[in-house]
Amino acid sequence: MPSYDDSTGKSKITEAKTRYTALATFFAIGLCLGIVLSERVYVQKRAMIPKPRQLVSRIANSMHVGHHAAVAEPRNELEAFLMKIAPQKEVLLAVANKNTMWDGMLDTFTQGFKRAKVPNHMVLALDQETLSWCQQNGINAFMMNVSIAASQKGTGDNHAVSALKFGILRKFVELGWAVLLSDVDIAIFQNPFEHLYRDSDVEGMTDGFDEHLAYGSIEGFDDPSMGWGRYAQYYKHFNLNSGLFYIQANNRTLDLLTRLETRLSKEKYWDQTAYNEEIFFLSHGSYKSPQVSVRVMEIDKFMNSKRLFKDIRHRPKEQRPPLPVMVHINYHPDKHERLKAVIQYYAGGNEHALDPFPGGSEAGTR
């Protein structure tokens, strides 16, 4: 019988154990390194997500660094004006005509530019009277001759002018400027550019007056006739308000604005309904939506008037949110009186300034 060397067998077993231990060690080290690297990548990506207040200083720093760089010649008068008042390529814009000056509404609104120290503001004047008033009162203004489409005649001056804004915005976006569009029935308390996230194509104020209605919720639907399949779900949120939104300058937003300008030049339609249809209706069949990404502005920073008059003002003082950025009097018809009262409430320190006003438009509503 052949002899068996027990020492050789033990040596092979020892060698195998050594190799296994080495491989296990290398695997553990690799796993640890992978976790560390993954964590670093995750942290770096999180750090890249824009947050309010960060981007304004970043833009300012980049402008400072490139201050001595060659500046391209403006393509038209509008671009020359924008390069002067908003070199960081974003502007707070209001579209106004002489009707907004009759009871001092434009004056009340533009005081917000000064109160919140917003240098890159601009009024797009639709007539010479508005342009002259702005120039006399130290407001950045540019006049543009725009005709109201035949389809919008008879809808009322406010709606007709509002329908013009998408075509106006298109001119800004084509030049590469992002725009924070604001109606004139809005009180400005803080520089809004310090509270934008800038991570979406459109960042807009909502007509929703609580978290579920503003930010969205999954709702149930019940059809008993379906038996086993009677239950279904759908997503619900209130519309974005077309009187206060920030829009980036890119091909998707240019497509969105072009569609809206075209639709409202042909259809007698509320601009806010068209705005939300083009943003939220899903692509289907031969129809392809502009596919813009959307962020809803925080409801206690960019606040609508129902949120304020029906909820916030009735809370105990310690439960009220801090000073809002902008308040839009969109739910109430007595706009200027409420606008002035809101300014007294937040900027004037008058805790009773809102007391005379009902919650809704009718007396006695809370």
215 within some domain? yes
Angstrom distances, CA of residue 116 to CA of 41, 112, 205, 213, 364: 38, 6, 19, 29, 34
Q: Given 3-state DSSP classes, what are the helix, strand and coil percentages for the chain, each rounded to the nearest 5?
A: 50, 15, 35
Assigned domain for 204 exists: yes
H, E, C per residue of 15-64: HHHHHHHHHHHHHHHHHHHHHHHHHHHHHHHHHHCCCCCHHHHHHHHHHH
Q: Which domain holds residue 167?
A: 75-222+231-346
Phi and psi torsions of 216, nearest 5°: 110, 155
Rg, Å, the chain Cα set = 29
Q: Is the pTM of the predicted complex or chain greater than 0.85?
A: no
In a domain, 62, yes or no: no
Cα angle 206, 209, 214; round to 5: 50
CATH number of the domain encompassing residue 255: 3.90.550.10
Q: Is the pLDDT of residue 86 over 80?
A: yes
Residue 28 is assigned to a structural domain of this protein: no
Give the closest residue to 144 by CA, choosing from 122, 163, 168. Answer: 168
CB 123 within 8 Å of CB 134: yes
The tally of domains found in the chain comes to 1
- Does 131 map to a domain? yes
d(CA 64, CA 81): 20
- 32-72 pLDDT, tens digit per residue, is 666 555 555 444 444 444 455 444 434 444 444 444 445 67
Q: At 84, which amino acid appears?
A: K
pLDDT (average), residues 87-106: 96
The token pair at 177 is: 């400027």
Q: Please name the residues in contact with 128: beta carbons below 8 A apart, sequence gap of 6 or more.
A: 143
What pLDDT shows up at residue 80?
Answer: 98
Q: How many CB atoms lie within 10 A of CB 338?
A: 24
Is residue 202 assigned to a domain? yes
What does the pLDDT read at residue 24?
A: 65
Q: What is the pLDDT of residues 316-362, one digit of tens each?
A: 999 999 999 999 999 999 999 999 999 999 999 999 999 999 999 99
Range 97-103 average pLDDT: 94
Q: Is residue 301 part of a domain?
A: yes
Task: Give residue 268's Cα distance to chain centre.
Answer: 26
Beta strands in the chain (DSSP E): 90-96, 121-125, 141-143, 178-182, 186-188, 202-206, 217-222, 231-236, 240-247, 294-296, 302-304, 326-328
Q: What is the pLDDT of residues 181-211, one digit of tens each?
A: 999 999 999 999 999 999 999 999 999 999 9
Angle (deg, nearest 10), helices 271-280 and 251-266 = 140
Give the residue among 62, 61, 63, 87 at the shortest CA–CA distance from 74.
87
Residue 7 belongs to a domain: no
User: What is the rounded distance in angstroms from the CA atom of residue 277 to the CA atom of residue 289?
Assistant: 9
With 0-12 / 13-18 / 19 or more C-beta atoms within 10 angstroms meaning exposed / middle / buried, residue 318 is exposed
pLDDT in tens, 213-269: 999 999 999 999 999 999 999 999 999 999 999 999 999 999 999 999 999 999 999
What is the rounded CA–CA span in Å between residue 192 and residue 133? 24
Q: Can you tell me which residue has the tokens 């008059």?
A: 309
